[in-house]
Structure 1
């Protein structure tokens, strides 16, 4: 049996869903993410290309102050042409020891707040049809403004605070449309005792 016969034999298996990646390369690179192109073979044997956003794991933080407010960021989002209000978040860096280290860093850099405790509570693949993004959600407690904001060159961010119940209502009423924030707040609400 040659390779073509082997491919044809698996092409008719109705239970097979996996694609075979035969090559992979960066097609375009920019700050924060790359566009990757994979050469793939589909279950029926068809050869094609697949492009997707390739980025490092990200952390999303639900930061509570000692009095129960949530620290949010107001940030310009060029892709949707408006200021977005949501949870602090950011990508991991190669020098991060672990995800908790990344969450602490991103909270301090974006908001100037530092947390007494940080605990992971959820993991999501928010757009796995077009990106390999994995978001790790943390709840931070005892957050106080004790650091300096250290924004990247392409970030326009202002920290703000909101009561948790007000934040939950804003998510439910679709006043906050940021997907990471909506998912994080609703998952936290569903899982809390």
Structure 2
């Protein structure tokens, strides 16, 4: 596999904005040629599949400017530096902030690199069980989120019939299916 490796000769940030940077690496390919490679540089994130004691899923509907519509999804967000060594705490924080729900327990489902051809994003997916609306929501200034609960099987059906388009949510639901159903 080392035959495929690129050597990074240098790196710099071309553009900074809240949430991510656009980085340019100067690289040498295995054949010796060099060129620049741009990618999105962003911190790790957590994604939470929250289930109530009755087995319903807590979902969010959120405006997504990049696609120009409201999108159904799951609570998710950046791992803050204080939570870097405790991803479960980060998942609990995101669940509470975005939905007002707290969980009895968390289980790690999977960790994925969803767009590793154009970003260094790493998403840590968690299952949250026993979720109840006992916390205060604390949305960021740029979050427009409505919270709902739906029967889990309806959420699974939305994955199959293209009603659930958020890739992070689809990944969490499918991993839950693979591991627990």
Q: Compute the displacement of 1:187 (Å).
A: 1.6
The aligned counterpart of 2:3 is 16
Which structure would you say has the larger Rg? 1
Which digits, 9 at most, give the CA deviation of each residue in 1:57-114, with x for residues without a partner?
A: 1100000011111101100000000000011111111111411111000000000001
Q: In structure 2, how many angstroms separate the alpha carbons of the residues matched to 1:151 and 1:49?
A: 37
Q: In structure 2, how many angstroms separate the alpha carbons of the residues matched to 1:104 and 1:184?
A: 16
The aligned counterpart of 2:67 is 80
TM-score, normalized by length of structure 2? 0.96
The aligned counterpart of 1:29 is 16
Question: Map of 1:29-178 to 2, 5 A cutoff?
Answer: 29-96=16-83, 97-178=85-166
Question: In structure 2, the residue corresponding to 1:177 is in which secondary structure?
Answer: coil
Q: In structure 1, how many angstroms separate the alpha carbons of the residues matched to 2:2 and 2:112?
A: 26
Q: In structure 2, how many angstroms separate the alpha carbons of the residues matched to 1:150 and 1:184?
A: 23
Q: Compute the displacement of 1:148 (Å).
A: 1.2
RMSD of Structure 2 on Structure 1 (CA): 1.2
Q: In structure 2, how many angstroms separate the alpha carbons of the residues matched to 1:141 and 1:110?
A: 16
Flag structure 2 segments of 5+ consecutive residues without an equivalent.
none
Flag structure 1 segments of 5+ consecutive residues without an equivalent.
1-13
Q: 1:134 to 1:156 in 2, by over 3 A?
A: same
Q: In structure 2, how many angstroms separate the alpha carbons of the residues matched to 1:61 and 1:144?
A: 14
Q: In structure 2, how many angstroms separate the alpha carbons of the residues matched to 1:178 and 1:133?
A: 15
Runs of 4+ that moved beyond 2 A: none
Q: Compute the displacement of 1:130 (Å).
A: 0.3
Question: In structure 1, the residue corresponding to 2:3 is in which secondary structure?
Answer: coil
The structure showing larger relative contact order (alpha-carbon pairs under 8 Å, at least 6 residues apart) is 2
TM-score, normalized by length of structure 1? 0.90
Does the Cα contact within 8 Å between 2:109 and 2:172 map onto a contact in 1?
A: no
Q: Compute the displacement of 1:15 (Å).
A: 6.9
